[in-house]
């Protein structure tokens, strides 16, 4: 740095410091309209992907309430340049109309592709409170996942309700005042498995076998998932007819029983499958654990009986599936600890948002409020 430039840099530094420390009346008055909104950013598919444990558990793995009973805390935010000074009671309602609008806009009259409203599996509080001195409240939504069929694409639509005497204004932009939560309950065995080592072939023609890079396992209960047979996936409108269930027997290792409830599938299991779980610490990040669920000796036959009505096509599947989860051991809650983006659980194009984001957001808001308060005190 040349000496002749020192006065210029000194002036620039003094100006920057003045920007951050100078006192003016702008910090004493609210600079924006204080709107109330959800923290539920939409992904490319028009919904917010949310991962919730099939059963909420305590630290000792016991159920908080029972098998299939869970919950999710959705952040509700009040905006503004000043710290919130009131206890704000925010009114929440189910919003089936917005879900219908989304379905019609995205899928037109193809109702078999529509998202399904999961209001019957959820308990939505009518109100939640943003406490005085805070800018974020949490809406505690409870779920009963018992009997849920994950061949449907479940969405919980919510809206913030305005009222003359409510003491707040819902955000005028609908994507802030409304939430479309695509709910994915999970257990220890559900998620996106690598299918590169599992062959799918016309029965008797293994030499021309193909493989899928990703095969998703959908939660059924605490110990069971289902896969779609062979190369069937969520894009098939008749996918529910091709569910192959996998029941895990054991904790860290054991057998896996493959079966179906659809006799038309003519499922024939050729081998007893087994599984084992491996956990390894990350070489670079010691707090990160890689958890692998490996299913060996998968071997079954089935028929595709709907692609060409009146004709059956015989298919065979054999090989191994591997699921990886990356778990941050510094975070106590399971759904926060799992790094979903890296565990590849999110459908392509979806936006993942879980409670770990909530707490990060709350920390950011608190940090901003603390900084703002400090500046006002200086003034």
Question: Are 241 and 262 in contact, with CB atoms under 8 Å apart?
Answer: yes
How far is residue 258 CA from its own chain's centroid? 27
**DSSP one-letter string for 121-185:** GEE--SEEEE-TT-SEEEEEEEEE-TT--TTS-EEEEEEEEP-TTSSSEE-SSHHHHEEEEEEEE
Residues of the chain with CATH 2.40.128.440: 191-328
- What is d(CA 196, CA 214) in angstroms, rounded to the nearest whole number? 8
Question: Are 105 and 113 in contact, with CB atoms under 8 Å apart?
Answer: no
Per-residue confidence (pLDDT) for residue 334, from 0 to 100: 81
Question: Are 333 and 53 in contact, with CB atoms under 8 Å apart?
Answer: no
- What is d(CA 359, CA 371) in angstroms, rounded to the nearest whole number? 18
Per-residue confidence (pLDDT) for residue 26, from 0 to 100: 55
| pLDDT tens profile 361-373 | 344 334 434 443 4
Which residue's entry shows tokens 């950011």? 364
- What is d(CA 106, CA 290) in angstroms, rounded to the nearest whole number? 37
- What is d(CA 48, CA 40) in angstroms, rounded to the nearest whole number? 6
Per-residue confidence (pLDDT) for residue 29, from 0 to 100: 60
Q: Which residues of the chain have pLDDT under 70?
A: 1-32, 81, 341-379
| pLDDT tens profile 51-86 | 999 999 887 888 888 899 999 999 999 987 678 888
User: 31: which 2 tokens?
Assistant: 């600079």
Reading across the β-sheet that carries 35-38, which strands appear in turn?
A: 122-123, 136-144, 69-78, 35-38, 169-170
User: 301: which 2 tokens?
Assistant: 């036959």
CATH class of 32-186+350-378: mainly beta
Rg for the chain (alpha carbons), in Å? 26
Question: Are 354 and 343 in contact, with CB atoms under 8 Å apart?
Answer: no
- Structure-derived torsion over alpha carbons of residues 22, 26, 32, 37, reported in degrees to the nearest 10: 50
- What is d(CA 177, CA 175) in angstroms, rounded to the nearest whole number? 6
Per-residue confidence (pLDDT) for residue 33, from 0 to 100: 73
Per-residue confidence (pLDDT) for residue 19, from 0 to 100: 52
Which residue's entry shows tokens 């994950």? 150
Which residue's entry shows tokens 């392509």? 348
Relative to beta strand 191-194, strand 69-78 is: unpaired
Exposure on the CB side of residue 173, measured as CA atoms within 13 A: 9
**Among the CATH numbers 2.40.128.440, 3.50.50.60, 3.30.365.10, 3.30.1490.20, which is that of 191-328?**
2.40.128.440
Residues of the chain with CATH 2.60.40.1740: 32-186+350-378
How far is residue 130 CA from its own chain's centroid? 24
Per-residue confidence (pLDDT) for residue 53, from 0 to 100: 96
């Amino acid at each position: 740095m040349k000496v002749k430039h020192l006065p210029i840099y000194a002036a620039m530094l003094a100006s920057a410091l003045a920007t951050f420390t100078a006192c003016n009346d702008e910090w004493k008055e609210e600079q924006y309209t204080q709107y109330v909104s959800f923290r539920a950013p939409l992904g490319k598919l028009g919904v917010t992907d949310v991962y919730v444990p099939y059963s909420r558990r305590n630290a000792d793995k016991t159920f908080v309430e029972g098998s299939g009973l869970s919950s999710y805390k959705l952040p509700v935010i009040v905006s503004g340049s000043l710290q919130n000074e009131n206890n704000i009671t925010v009114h929440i309602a189910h919003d089936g109309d917005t879900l219908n609008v989304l379905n019609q806009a995205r899928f037109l009259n193809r109702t078999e592709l529509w998202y399904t409203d999961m209001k019957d599996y959820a308990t939505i509080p009518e109100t939640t409170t943003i406490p005085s001195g805070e800018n974020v409240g949490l809406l505690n939504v409870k779920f009963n996942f018992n009997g849920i069929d994950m061949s449907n694409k479940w969405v919980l639509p919510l809206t913030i309700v305005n009222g003359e005497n409510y003491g707040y204004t819902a955000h005028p932009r609908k994507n802030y005042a409304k939430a479309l939560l695509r709910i994915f309950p999970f257990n220890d065995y559900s998620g996106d498995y690598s299918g590169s080592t599992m062959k799918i072939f016309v029965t008797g023609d293994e030499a021309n076998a193909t493989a899928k890079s990703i095969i998703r396992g959908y939660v059924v209960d605490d110990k069971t998932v289902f896969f779609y047979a062979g190369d069937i996936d969520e894009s098939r409108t008749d996918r529910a007819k091709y569910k192959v269930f996998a029941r895990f027997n054991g904790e860290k290792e054991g057998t896996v029983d493959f079966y179906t409830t659809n006799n038309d599938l003519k499922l024939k299991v050729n081998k007893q499958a087994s599984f084992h779980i491996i956990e390894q610490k990350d070489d670079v990040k010691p707090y990160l654990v890689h958890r692998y669920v490996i299913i060996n000796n998968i071997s079954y036959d089935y028929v595709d009986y709907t692609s060409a009505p009146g004709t059956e096509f015989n298919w065979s599947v054999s090989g191994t599936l591997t699921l990886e989860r990356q778990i941050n051991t510094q975070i106590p809650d399971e759904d926060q600890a799992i790094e979903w983006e890296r565990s590849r659980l999110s459908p392509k194009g979806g936006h993942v948002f879980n409670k770990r984001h909530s707490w990060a957001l709350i920390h950011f808001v608190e940090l901003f409020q603390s900084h703002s308060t400090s500046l006002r005190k200086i003034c």
